């Protein structure tokens, strides 16, 4: 695939890596900025990796209310110093993450947070779907892995495509801010509330219990 010079320049700004290294990383990762940053970090090339290992205990809890109180979000974003917490760049980042969570509805922060049994269940479903297509047995695992990767991008905040810039994921956004702000930044936790969520199910469960009791 063709790699834009602007993307190479952006990756170089984020990581501090050389132009050729950045271009190679983008080619290897099919243009995905977040994955390209990870690629360079694994190779020991990206300078942002050094910052990412530092302890971040300052930061802010951001909030966002959408739809006249129908959706609410709380998120804790950490940085290293109180000085950075008060900067517009950091505050804007917290707001962007809140708005993204409201819009994209992630279920987990990162893929490592997904219970193993949940992943195994998804894998079994995808395998059964693949088998029903009549695909050769030798490609089934590859198909399942691809579907599982897409699932991670759907439900994990750090893997989701950033709603305000679809050329990057949230992980890439964070790494970009680490580079520009100069401190380690991390999302620690979040909560998303949708008015009435779960009430219908509880009502149905209660009705079922009553019906069982009156038999």
C-alpha dist (Å) from residue 202 to 194, 197, 198, 208 = 15, 10, 6, 10
pLDDT digits (tens, 9 = 90+) for 86-100: 999 999 999 999 999
Which residues pair with residue 186 across a beta bridge? 78
Are 19 and 12 in contact, with CB atoms under 8 Å apart? yes
| Residues 75, 88: Cα–Cα separation, whole Å | 17
| Residues 96, 64: Cα–Cα separation, whole Å | 10
Three-state secondary structure string covering 133-161? CCCCHHHHHHHHHHHHHHHHHHHEHHHCE
| Verdict on whether the full-model pTM lies above 0.85 | no
CA angle 164/169/174 to nearest 5° reads 95
Task: Specify the number of domains making up the chain.
Answer: 2
| Residues 8, 209: Cα–Cα separation, whole Å | 60
pLDDT digits (tens, 9 = 90+) for 47-71: 555 566 566 779 999 999 998 899 9
Asked if residue 147 is part of any domain, the answer here is yes
pLDDT digits (tens, 9 = 90+) for 121-179: 998 999 888 888 877 777 888 888 899 999 999 999 999 999 999 988 999 899 888 87
Residue owning tokens 């089934």: 140
Asked if residue 55 is part of any domain, the answer here is no
Around Cβ 201, how many Cβ atoms within 10 Å? Answer: 9
Asked if residue 33 is part of any domain, the answer here is yes
Asked if residue 139 is part of any domain, the answer here is yes
Domain span at residue 5 reads: 1-46
Beta strand pairing call for 58-66 and 71-79: antiparallel
- The CATH number of residue 39's host domain is 1.10.8.10
């Amino acid at each position: 695939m063709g790699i834009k010079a602007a993307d190479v320049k952006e990756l170089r700004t984020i990581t501090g890596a050389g132009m050729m290294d950045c271009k190679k990383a983008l080619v290897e990762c099919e243009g995905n900025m977040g994955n390209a940053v990870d690629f360079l970090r694994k190779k020991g090339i990206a300078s942002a990796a050094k910052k990412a290992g530092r302890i971040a205990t300052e930061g802010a809890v951001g909030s966002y209310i959408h739809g006249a109180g129908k959706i609410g979000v709380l998120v804790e974003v950490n940085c290293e110093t109180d000085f950075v917490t008060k900067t517009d760049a950091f505050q804007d980042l917290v707001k962007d993450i809140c708005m993204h969570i409201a819009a994209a509805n992630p279920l987990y922060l990162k893929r490592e947070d997904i219970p193993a049994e949940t992943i195994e269940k998804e894998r079994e479903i995808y395998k059964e779907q693949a088998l029903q297509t009549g695909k050769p047995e030798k490609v089934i695992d590859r198909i399942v892995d691809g579907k599982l990767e897409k699932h991670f991008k759907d439900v994990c905040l750090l893997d989701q495509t950033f709603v305000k810039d679809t050329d990057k994921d949230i992980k890439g956004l964070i790494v970009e801010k680490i580079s520009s702000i100069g401190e380690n930044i991390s999302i620690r936790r979040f909560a998303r509330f949708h008015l009435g969520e779960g009430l219908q199910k509880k009502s149905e469960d209660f009705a079922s219990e009553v019906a069982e009791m009156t038999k």
